[in-house]
Amino acid sequence: MADKVDTTALLAKVDIVEVIDRYVPLTKSGGEYEACCPFHGEDTPSFKVSPSKQFYHCFGCGAHGDAIGFLMQHQGLSFRNAVEALGGDLPETGAGPARAPAREKKPRSPWVPIMPAPADAPDSPKAHYARGTPQKVWRYLDDAGRLLGFVYRFVKSDGGKEVMPVCWAKNSDTGAEEWHFMAFPEPRPLYGLDRLAAKPEATVLLVEGEKCADAGHEHLPELAVVSWPGGGKADGKVDWSPLAGRKVVTWADADAKRVPLTPAEREAGVAADSKPILPEAEQAGVSTMARIRGRLADLGCKLWDVQLPPPGAKPDGWDIADAVVDGLRGEELADFIRSSARPVVSPRSADVEQSFQSRNEPPDDGVPPVGDEKSAKKPEGPLLIDAMEWIDDSRPQEWVLDGIVQRGCLYAVTAVTNHGKTAIGLTLAMSVAAGKRFAGRDLVRGKVLLLCGENPDGFRTRMRATIDALGLDLTDVAGMIMVLPHALPIADCAEQILEEARKQAGDYALVLVDTSVSYYSGDDEDDNLQARSHAWHLRALTELPGHPAVLANCHPTKSADKESLLPRGGGAFLNEIDCNLTVWAEGEVAHLHWQRKKRGPDFDPIPFEFHGKSVEEHGNKIPTVVAMHISETRAVELKKERNQAEDRLLWVMMHHPEETFAGWASACGWNGDKAKSKVFRVMERLKEDKLVAKNRRGYVLTKPGEEEAKKIH
């Protein structure tokens, strides 16, 4: 036996493509073969194998070598064992090779990652020296919100993607500190630790990839959605302990990989898509998540797994982000998880996934807890009942306000600020508490709950004025009204409201929320998902004793006018309510009607007139406004008077453009202490109609205003 290994002769006898293909399935690409690099995480192949040059090279991480080097790097073999694995002869003396292996051990990096990064650390790199500007950057935070590092995703020149982590690191040789492209230290942190900490009781949804975690976080606010760095080959390097004891639903990537071609089949030109699709258990995404569930079971987690479409039914790699693109969003996405997730039965090791329960056997505590506030409770007894018995068991509709407001329903009352929604709502609420007819209609007397967190002091003044305007005394409503005078997230306080109310005597007929946004649980009133969840929590108030109607005063969408009074929150909020009542004021008259969404019979617009009142509080006279129902005849008269006042002011402004408010009031024939106030009110209406405008000289007629003024006699 020779004293030294002839590596040149050995490497000439082996085919590097065949060697690497045993461990990493390769795909032919021109004169080379390629795969996703086995030495770092990436989504598209940058790992190339050259049969003519007999070496491999990764253009992402720089891994490079021959067949011996690959076995040493990938399989962790010693040089001697790698040579033996390739069928080479070794010297009995154990002497070294005739030349060093092509892939030598990488020198120790002096950079040591530091986590979390210092609070005063500068911004992370804007670009990578080779990959350029990242397409996407994800921030990793710990449970206290401190910055741990970043993951950058780059688009490569061939259109593929590459993912690189960035850490704050210290150079152990020089002491310098800076952001450095390098892997997170092991065990690596989860992506979404801040979300876990913010929702300690929430069910966790575990997905593969930061993009998927963000998609789930956006559309499933009830869940804590997390992922991990490094992809499917790095799950063994992750710190899973933050999930200990949690309820976890796993959603794997739905891969559709096929049985790989052998080198002989590739040389023969066999088409890759002619090979059969691998069984689901052998698909990379599924097997990765199975390993993770084993680890989570050892941490005491209660586990569900989303049952994926069969391999090939969806595009390769289909995940939750793709599901969102396909239209599964919000409650529809939550429903998909509820219906397709199955409990995992007691995995016993970190490497082996045990069987699932039968699809027909429910988990021991029902469906996975996704959006519990919306899920229905299972009724006692049989689920299927005879239709005739069900029809006979129906109950008649119960109206709180005849033909308009029904028990157990949720209403938006949408109006522009200062158009009278609070005044009209208070008139209705006091009428219900006292059992007094409202707008000429019968109603049911019952307890009233007022949520007046927007302006509790002003609301109290208006409430006293309304009671007085209706000819009532405080004793007429004593014991019939409960108040929540604080602005609180309704999601946090609904259960306590129900609990306290159930301990009190009497049934509720009406809940008035002033205003909806004061009890909003999210941070964006126009966000569809948050608005839908808000509607669910408002509807929970119909579960008060007596199943009251809930009226929530809502602000309209931006630039709303008389014909577009829709509540903020978009279609998601509108779909969840039973009716969108509206209030629109013109001068001293406002009409209560509805737009777009109405369950129940139609009704004509109901007119109200605003009356100024003063309430004495602690020795002071406090002015306020109440809304009183009027006849349609009276409403027409007031409109005529309003038009006459506007015409008069337009005419006077055209003929006396330099006058002051006092001069215009006198020219209009309006005298007394409130004459200038009347000019101001009329002027505001003319401004809304764009007939007057304000400049540095004061109020002036616009061109349309001049044309209108010329028509007045």
Q: How large is the angle between the packed helices 456-469 and 421-434, nearest 10 degrees? A: 60
The two beta strands, 111-114 and 161-171, are antiparallel
Helix (H, G, I), strand (E, B) or coil at 624: strand
pLDDT value at residue 599? 78
pLDDT of residue 90: 56
Task: State how far the Cα of 423 lies from the Cα of 420, in Å rounded to an integer.
Answer: 5
Q: Which of 436, 485, 478, 490 is nearest to 459 (CA)?
A: 485
Nearest to 34 by CA among 52, 17, 12: 17
Query: In the numeric block, which tokens belong to residue 402?
Result: 């005849």
Distance from C-alpha of 343 to C-alpha of 367, rounded to nearest angstrom? 8
224 and 202 in contact (C-beta within 8 Å)?
A: yes
User: Which amino acid, 170?
Assistant: K
The token pair that represents 495 in the structure block: 């259960």
User: Both tokens of residue 687?
Assistant: 């401004």
List, in sequence order, every residue forming a beta bridge with 342; answer none if it has no partner: 305
State the DSSP H helix or E strand holding residue 589, giving kind and residue range, or none if neither. strand 589-598
Please give the full DSSP string across 96-163, using - where no structure is assigned: -BSS--SSPPPPPPSEEEESSPPTT--PPPSSBTTTBS-SEEEEEE-TTS-EEEEEEEEE-TTS-EEE
Contact 118, 32 (CB under 8 A): no
Tokens representing residue 701 in the block: 């007629």
- Distance separating alpha carbons of residues 134 and 163, to the nearest angstrom: 9
Contacts 24+ apart (CB under 8 A), 279-287: 279/311, 280/308, 280/310, 280/311, 283/254, 283/255, 283/256, 283/257, 283/311, 284/232, 284/253, 284/255, 284/257, 285/208, 285/232, 285/252, 285/253, 285/254, 285/255, 285/317, 285/319, 286/252, 286/255
**pLDDT for the residue 676:** 85
Return the pLDDT at 395. Answer: 66
DSSP string covering 501-561: HHTSSS-EEEEEES-GGGG--SS-TT-HHHHHHHHHHHHGGGGSTT--EEEEEEPBPTT--
For the chain, which ranges sit under pLDDT 50? 1-2, 92-106, 346-366, 372-377
pTM of structure: 0.49
State the pLDDT at residue 358: 35
* Six-digit token string for 438: 């409202």
Domains of the chain, with CATH numbers? 7-85 (3.90.580.10), 111-181 (no CATH), 193-343 (3.40.1360.10), 399-630 (3.40.50.300), 634-710 (1.10.10.10)
pLDDT of residue 371: 59
CA distances (Å), 263 to each of 50, 73, 283, in order?
A: 13, 22, 21
